Homo-oligomer: A and B are copies of this chain.
Amino acid sequence: MAEFAKGLEGVIAAESRICKIDGEQGRLYYMGYSITDLVEHCTFEEVTYLLLYGELPTREQLAVFSAKMRNARELKQPVINMIKDFPKKAHPMELLQSVISYLSSYVEHKIHHGPHCNCRDTLHQLAEMATVVATYQRVQEGKEYLPPRKDLSHGANFLYMLRGEEPDPVEGEIMDKALILHAEHSFNASTFTARVVASTMSTCYCSISAAVGALFGSLHGGANEKVMDMVDEIGTPQAARDWVNKALDEKKKVMGMGHRVYRAKDPRAIVIEGYLEELSEMKNDRNACEILKEVESAFRERMEEKGKPIYPNVDFFSGAVYRMLGIPTRLFTPVFAIARAPGWLSHILEQRVDNRIYRPKAAYVGSDHRPLVPIEER
């Protein structure tokens, strides 16, 4: 039998300059800049520029880029129709995947002009995602398409479209920063999908559409939804400790705890916990926040008994933040896609610079040659 690594675990698939994860120290860098610095100093559009160009923009560069990205927010009528016709019970990720490849048709792709072609100019593949998701939700609620606003940040405009009114500036900023936290995280199934599709010289729209399909899978996106299911099940902070002890006694999984690559606390968890605190104060509703803190503390005590510290990851807090911002649970994974789109595009561009088509081998373990009996004699 041939030896191989299932799921390509531990196998290097490519070199990359985009994302560095220091799991031991609990650090995350985009293009060399720490995530903590990025959320402190930058907007989502600025980070998008960084991911697409490899450098932070000057004020002039950002003004041009920002205008381009904001101009790309509006939906065309056929896309609005796709959203309106979309079956009510179906998942918005299927819609998002579908729309992004449909949008590919509106753009003249100049892939033969070089690896970056015009992917950084059209920006519909990034900008329209938020509009599609917000419009999907509006249609679910029986509302009409609300055109995006160009005077708001990517995060604030998303909340505006969702609610039909401008959010408080603090909420808009937290939404924008939450997107930064999820913009990139090296190779994972969706980013790898984007690179594999891009390696055929398909368009960046078609590659991102494919990545959305991967993120839709329950083993990939969706962890923060499950955390909120847990919060709802626990109900009150007082019930949290017993719930955790019971869950651990029954060897059930506590959602949002631990991370494949972080041995220390996920740096994004620290930032987003701060946003949850801020929103909880602002909205005078500390219930979810307190439940999560109790779960974390009860969980840590049990783990310390065993001598193996496990910390909360970003998903542990992000769902509660989204809910405080008025985002329905069904949109959590689509919001992840909105945030991750610049990361995907960054990997697509990098893949094309020194490309080879992905074509691994299969180890054949099937039948030897079988004689074919025609159907009349079967």
Contacts and interface: CB of A to CB of B under 8 A. Distances in A.
A7 B98 contact: no
Contacts of A14: 4, 6, 362-363
A188 to B, nearest CB: 6
A11 B360 contact: yes
Contacts of A243: none
State the copy count for this chain: 2
Q: What's the dominant secondary structure at chain A's contact region?
A: mixed
A116 to B, nearest CB: 16
A197 B9 CA distance: 16
Interface string A68-85: 000000000110011001
Nearest to A40: B372
Interface in A177-217: 186-190, 192-193, 196-203, 205-207, 209-210, 213-217
Interface in A1-57: 2-4, 6-20, 29, 31-34, 37-38, 40-42, 46, 56-57
A91 to B, nearest CB: 7
A283 interface: no
A102 B370 CA distance: 38
B101 A98 contact: yes
A62 interface: yes
A95 B90 contact: no
Contacts of A10: 360-361
Interface residues of A, number: 106
Contacts of A307: none
Interface in A216-231: 216-220
Contacts of A153: none
Contact of A4 (B12, B188, B219): B12
Interface in A84-104: 85-87, 90-91, 93-95, 97-99, 101-102, 104
A367 B12 contact: no
A56 B372 contact: yes
Q: Which residue, A6, A365, A368, has most C-beta atoms of chain B within 10 A? A: A6
A210 B214 contact: yes
B189 A357 contact: yes
A56 B359 CA distance: 29
A70 to B, nearest CB: 17
Given A11-B361, A201-B220, A217-B357, 19 more contacts: A7-B359, A8-B359, A12-B362, A16-B365, A16-B366, A19-B366, A29-B369, A42-B372, A42-B375, A46-B375, A56-B378, A59-B375, A78-B86, A81-B81, A86-B105, A187-B360, A193-B193, A196-B214, A209-B210
